[in-house]
Amino acid sequence: MRILHLSAVRNWGGGEKHIENLCLEMAKNHPEVFNIILCRKGSLFEQSLIKQNLKHYTSPVFTNFDFRYALKIISVCKKENIDLIHIHDPKALALAVAIDKFKDLPPFIFSKKTSFPIRSRRQTLYKYNYPKIKKILCVSEATREISLAALDHHERLEVIYHGTSLKNKDTKPPFLIANKYNLPDDAVIIGNIANHIEAKNLETLVQTANYLVNQKKQKNLYFFQVGNFSQETKTLKNLVRELGLENHIFFTGYIPEASAFIPQFDMMLLTSESEGIPQVIYESFYYNVPVVSTNVGGIPEVIENNVNGLLNDPYDHKGLGENLLFLIENPQVIPNFAKISREKLFKHFTSRIMAGKTLEAYKNTLNGRLH
């Protein structure tokens, strides 16, 4: 079985980590599946694929419809005798649908990795309902539910939770946070790993820090944020300066293998306004780091409030702050949260489980039709 994975994104994020985890697990446990990736030339994803020694091709993607990427799909399908195309983002989907009009491509599977509603524009609906898409793999039940309104043939939708790999967890971080920022011995480090995009709502992270540090006078709290900078970064940094939090919030930008920092966190804080299910939750579970999060997208499917984590409505910086304070003042609850979270992880949310279920989706789609 020969699978071509399509990714046309510029930055590195959970979606790209999903592709890597999937391909690495397939190579280890399902060697009958041969995975090839077509990614954006010069992207952070390309750099990571080289490091992981995963077979891939590249193409420029400078516009929403870069014909070079579309033509590359055709050439790779022919050269590698591809049986099935697994598409991982909306831009790659649009390019695959467009080029299929000129060259009959193998069948498609599409992974829906966010809980954004599908827009009701004619062109968008055509793309997502394209008949060559045989299955749509949703990252959560919430993603599936929100997609139903816009999609025909609901039987195509299947929930497969992304998982974290239990291998390669011994990666050393490039530095110790407490040493680099000269933190005091009683410092409490609150981590966040997210790219600077609207969905991650990092303004609420800054407002949560302001509530705790300036209003509640918790001067020993430090917020460590890792993720790709964007046009939103300047606004976030200006807000940090306005609130006098320069010594309490550290924006690092992109760091490879950012999850290696998680063991240094006292807790993980997620402030998203929209999510599928972020990988950092699974990684926090692995490292026994408690999670305080907004209750958006598929997050309540993996974190039960007051059972294995703490949840708040989006934008509720005071509620998020109070939940962080609760963990600081009641550390005895953390071991039980961690125990339940780790049990959930190993039972439901590993990349090995994800790869097995994805392979079944491939088999059902192809139904024995291989080159």
For residue range 193-228, list pLDDT tens digits in order: 999 999 999 999 999 999 999 999 999 999 999 999
- Whether residue 166 is predicted with pLDDT greater than 90 in this model: the reply is no
Query: What's the pLDDT band for 367 if we cut at 50, 70, 90?
Result: confident
Please give the pLDDT value at position 13.
Answer: 86
Contact 100, 106 (CB under 8 A): no
- Whether residue 293 is predicted with pLDDT greater than 80 in this model: the reply is yes
Contact 327, 333 (CB under 8 A): yes
pTM beyond 0.85, yes or no: yes
Please give the pLDDT value at position 14.
Answer: 86
If you average pLDDT over residues 96-119, what whole number do you get?
A: 92
- Whether residue 61 is predicted with pLDDT greater than 80 in this model: the reply is yes
Query: What's the pLDDT band for 234 if we cut at 50, 70, 90?
Result: very high
Contact 87, 98 (CB under 8 A): no
pLDDT tens readout for residues 21-55: 999 999 999 999 999 999 999 999 999 999 999 99
Q: What are the angstrom distances between the C-alpha of 219 and each of 2, 58, 181, 210, 261?
A: 55, 48, 15, 10, 22
Please give the pLDDT value at position 65.
Answer: 77
Instruction: Please write down the long-range contacts of 153-161, taking CB distance under 8 Å and 24 or more positions apart.
Output: 153/129, 158/361, 160/354, 160/357, 160/358, 160/361, 161/277, 161/298, 161/301, 161/302, 161/348, 161/349, 161/353, 161/354
Domain ranges, ordered by start, for the chain: 2-163+350-366, 177-348
pLDDT tens readout for residues 314-364: 999 999 999 999 999 999 999 999 999 999 999 999 999 999 999 999 999
Contact 136, 158 (CB under 8 A): yes
Q: From 3.40.605.10, 3.40.250.10, 3.40.640.10, 3.40.50.2000, which CATH number describes the 2-163+350-366 domain?
A: 3.40.50.2000
pLDDT tens readout for residues 66-90: 889 999 999 999 999 999 999 999 9
Q: Which residue type sits at 228? A: N
How many Cβ atoms sit within 10 Å of the Cβ of residue 344? 17
- Whether residue 112 is predicted with pLDDT greater than 90 in this model: the reply is yes
Instruction: Say if domain 177-348 classifies as CATH 3.40.50.2000.
Output: yes
Please give the pLDDT value at position 67.
Answer: 86
CATH topology identical between 2-163+350-366 and 177-348? yes
Q: Which distant-in-sequence residues (6+ apart) come within 8 Å of 59 by Cβ?
A: 38, 40, 41, 66, 68, 69, 72
Closest CA to 114 of 45, 15, 11: 15
What are the strands of the beta sheet with 84-87, ordered from one edge? Answer: 56-59, 34-40, 2-6, 84-87, 108-112, 133-138, 157-159
